Copies of this chain bind each other. A is one copy, B any other.
Amino acid sequence: MSASLTSSPETIITELQAIVGDDKVRSDAEILLSHGRDWTKAHTPAPLAVVFPRTAAEVQAVVKLANQLAFAIVPSGGRTGLSGGAVAANGEVVVSFDYMSHISDFDPIDRTVVCQAGVITEQLQDFAEEHGLFYPVDFASAGSSQIGGNIATNAGGIKVIRYGMTRDWVAGLKVVTGSGEMLELNRGLLKNNAGYDLRQLFIGAEGTLGLIVEATMQLTRAPKNLTAFVLGVEDFNGIMNLFNRFQAEMDLTAFEFFSEQALQKVVAHSAVPRPFESVCPYYALLEFECLNDEVEAQAMALFETCVEEGWVSDGVMSQSLEQLKNLWRLREDISETISKWTPYKNDISTIISRVPDFLESVETLVTAQYPDFEIIWFGHIGDGNLHLNILKPDGMDKDEFFKKCATVSTGVFEIVAKFGGSVSAEHGVGLLKKPYLSYSRSEAEIALMRQVKQVFDPKGIMNPGKIFD
Contacts and interface: CB of A to CB of B under 8 A. Distances in A.
Contacts of A349: 189-192
B383 A107 contact: no
A135 to B, nearest CB: 16
A187 B417 CA distance: 11
B154 A109 contact: no
Interface string A409-451: 0000000000011111111110001000100111011101101
A247 to B, nearest CB: 7
A462 to B, nearest CB: 13
A132 interface: yes
B429 A193 contact: yes
A351 interface: yes
A26 to B, nearest CB: 31
A59 to B, nearest CB: 16
B198 A353 contact: no
Interface stretch (A9-17, A199-207, A264-272, A332-340): A199-207
A414 to B, nearest CB: 15
Given A109-B243, A351-B110, A442-B184, A197 B192 contact: no
A191 B426 contact: yes
A384 interface: yes
Interface string A103-138: 000011111100000000000000000001000000
A352 interface: yes
B190 A383 contact: yes
A126 to B, nearest CB: 19
A150 to B, nearest CB: 11
Contacts of A421: 189
A259 interface: no
Given A294-B291, A444-B183, A445-B183, A195 B351 contact: no
A137 to B, nearest CB: 13
A251 interface: yes
Contact of A455 (B189, B203, B455): B455
A248 B444 CA distance: 46
Contact of A189 (B204, B351, B446): B351
A190 B168 CA distance: 12
Contacts of A398: none
A111 B252 CA distance: 15
A204 B198 contact: no
Contacts of A448: 177, 181, 183, 198, 455-456
Interface in A243-291: 243-244, 247-249, 251, 291
Given A451-B455, A455-B452, A194 B244 contact: no
A251 B185 CA distance: 28
A433 B247 CA distance: 42
A120 B190 CA distance: 25
A197 B203 contact: yes
A449 B194 CA distance: 11
Interface centre among A160, A248, A433, A448 (most CB of B within 10 A): A448
A13 B131 CA distance: 63
A296 B182 CA distance: 49
Nearest to A444: B181
A459 interface: no
